[in-house]
Structure 1
Amino acid sequence: MQEPLNIGVDVAKAELVVGVIDHPELNITLANTAASIKRWLRHVPPDARLAVESTGSYHRLLVDLAQAQGVCTYVLNARDVHFYAKALGQRGKTDRTDAQVISRYLREHHPYLHPFRAGSQAEQLITELLRRRAQLVGQRGALQQSLRDVPLLAPQLKALIADFNQVIATIDEHIAQQAQSEPALAAEAQRLQTIPGVGVQGATMLLCLFRRIEFKNSDAVIAFTGLDPRPMDSGQKRGLRRLSKRGAPWLRRQLYMMGFSASRSKVFQSRYEALRAHGLSSTAAFVILGRKLLSIAFALWRSQKP
């Protein structure tokens, strides 16, 4: 039986460089426009696999059009592909070699990858709003940090922070509106908010994640968010466990804040105090609580019980 084509695409703002491992005759460069992509997709076999690196927004047009045509599509973590290329001993870097590496990575790892699923329109918008919100919160903190020791700029800083807060509040309103736009999404979000520490942002974030990817168990969800402890052992040495920090940082930040909120609830306060008494820092305790909340939320969502 012939192996389906494993198509790797290196994405840029203006063009797409296509590479197919073991099929150099199929390599091509095309414009990153709807018309050009549609013409190329007419020649792509229906059983082909297509992979791109996550590039923010430049890959979305290709992914949307490919999925509309029924092509199995994967959006890869660029960090994984980078280290894979280094492991192969790749010396140079061009768009063409990057596309070939993506194609080879897809051929070897597709059994362990999740095909990309964009989710409903409301889920996509919620995810985008949450990502932008996290960026604004980080920029607000950086601004406060850089100007806090400059009293002459205190009035201007206060005005800027007020503007940041207003935009963040507007984003929160839009997130709540989108969550209410789909009855099923609204009901599931309300159910998750019964967990102490889980608010509107946390509930909608988790639902968009659970609905988009079919996780086998809670350990898989935790690993996806990067909150899983990473062993560093060798021989008789037992190194410190540190977080793998895989996946999106804004996901981990939201889970951290959920853990922070839960530590002040009646349900989890005793657990937080026990972790602190055990010698853990407050940051580590918040992370552990956030990880616990993630497991509880996933179990509650999968059971579909209140």
Structure 2
Amino acid sequence: MTKIICGVDVSKSRLDAAVSSPKAFASFANDASGIAALASFCRRHGVELAVMEATGGFERKAFLLLWEEGVASALVNPRNVRCFAEAMGAMEKTDPIDAAMIARFAIAKDIKPMEPPTKAQQRLKALVARLRQVTDDLTVQKQRRSAAADDETLASLDEVIALLKRQSKRLEGEIASMIDDDPLWAKLAETFRSIKGVAGRTVARLMADLPEIGVFDNKAVSKLVGLAPLADDSGRRSGQRHIRGGRASVRSVLFLVAEIARRFDDGLAALHRRLTEAGKKKMVVRVALAHKLLVRLNAKARDARAEFANAT
């Protein structure tokens, strides 16, 4: 039996909701009271799942509060929904049409509820994201200082740099404390650090942006990160495989760490040497190294989770 789905088109200030069957449409403010009204709308129409696109953060409050209101929710990729809409011949694009198309997409793909992150996971993710912002800002300010000439500008930049360094140190301390205080996270952190080249910031990024590590199999986690080369074959033609999509924040740190780790790891070094000698492009080599590192981290995380479960 087909589920009753509510597709929710999210914008900064508004939530447009369309129920699949019986068809119903309503619009709500994207704030706490509006989300509560959306939850009532869903209950009134017997909605089993509310589905919305991941739209750069505007969906976060609705996703979390709907779960608190007892309405199961899920997030989907907006690019996939748009491709689905075009494949279904829906070239028009309005908020009601988009909401209805999200519902149709969810039914066609049999989208399942996506459990919300815990409060601790939310806080860790926010701290890691803020640390990344502070680090980027610090890099920019240091570059500006290297180009500055007058004393007044240098003094101003030094003040900003000192502030950013203090914030960076504080954030690193908060993140480390959170990981150390959680027994499972502490176990995973110890396991990850057993690979030479994997440091505290990499561990924090994995914990915050890839909580599924060690839960999914290698193929699934590779697709999740965007390090699984996708086939492009047709008939006798064997096309070149490319990576696409995935979690860029995790992928970027794995590129950097794999390059460091290969200096100490015989397996990664041998893979790098073999691909380089075969004349593979630099990006192909980088992806292969990052993929191998991810698979190894995932295997270690899987073992650590099993060991932790057996010990508790």
Same fold flag (TM > 0.5): yes
- 1:193-204 aligned within 5 A: 193-204=193-204
2:30 aligns with one of 29, 32, 37: 32
Partner of 1:73: 73
Unaligned runs of 5+ in 2: none
Structure 1 residues 209 and 158, CA, compared in 2 at 3 Å: closer, same or farther? closer
2:226 alignment counterpart: 226
Change (3 A) 1:48 1:270: same
| Residue 260 of structure 2: aligned partner | 261
TM superposition shift of 1:291: 1.0
SS in 2 for 1:108: helix
Cα distance change, pair 296–96 in 1 and its aligned pair in 2 (3 A): same
Deviations 1:30-56 (A, max 9, x none): 112222322342343476111111123
2:9–2:95 contact (8 Å) kept in structure 1: yes
Matches of 1:213 and 1:188, distance apart in 2: 10
Q: Please say if residues 215 and 302 of structure 2, whose CA atoms lie closer than 8 Å, have aligned partners that are also in contact.
A: no
Are the equivalent residues in 2 in contact too, given 1:210–1:298 (CA < 8 A)? Answer: no
1:151-230 equivalence runs, <5 A = 167-208=167-208, 211-212=211-212, 216-230=216-230
- 2:122 is aligned to 124
> Which amino acid is the alignment partner of residue 200 of structure 2?
V
Q: Percent identity?
A: 25
1:81 & 1:302 partners in 2: Cα distance?
Answer: 32
CA distance in 2, matches of 1:240, 1:59: 35
Q: Tell me the residue number matched to 1:7.
A: 6
> Aligned partners of 1:23, 1:285: CA distance in 2, in Å?
52
Is the Cα–Cα contact under 8 Å of residues 209 and 250 in structure 2 kept in the other structure? Answer: no
Q: Please give the alpha-carbon distance, in whole angstroms, between the structure 2 residues aligned to 1:293 and 1:119.
A: 25
Counterpart in the other structure of 1:18: 17
Find the counterpart in structure 2 of residue 279 from structure 1.
Answer: 279
TM-score (normalizing by structure 2): 0.81
How many pairs does the alignment contain?
A: 300
Judged with a 3 Å threshold, the aligned counterparts in structure 2 of structure 1 residues 139 and 237 are, in CA distance, closer, same or farther, namely farther
Distance 1:87 1:18 in 2: 22
Alignment of 1:290-305 (within 5 A): 290-304=290-304, 305=307
Which TM-score applies when normalising by structure 1?
Answer: 0.82
Counterparts of 1:82 and 1:140, CA distance in 2: 37
Matching residue of 1:61: 61
2:192, 2:198 within 8 Å by CA — same for their partners in 1?
A: yes
Deviates most, 286-295 or 233-242: 233-242
On the 8 A contact 1:263/1:286 being kept in 2, the answer is no
Worse overlay, 134-143 or 295-304: 134-143
Comparing 285-294 and 216-225, the one that deviates more = 285-294
Amino acid at match of 2:31: T
Superposition RMSD in Å:
3.2
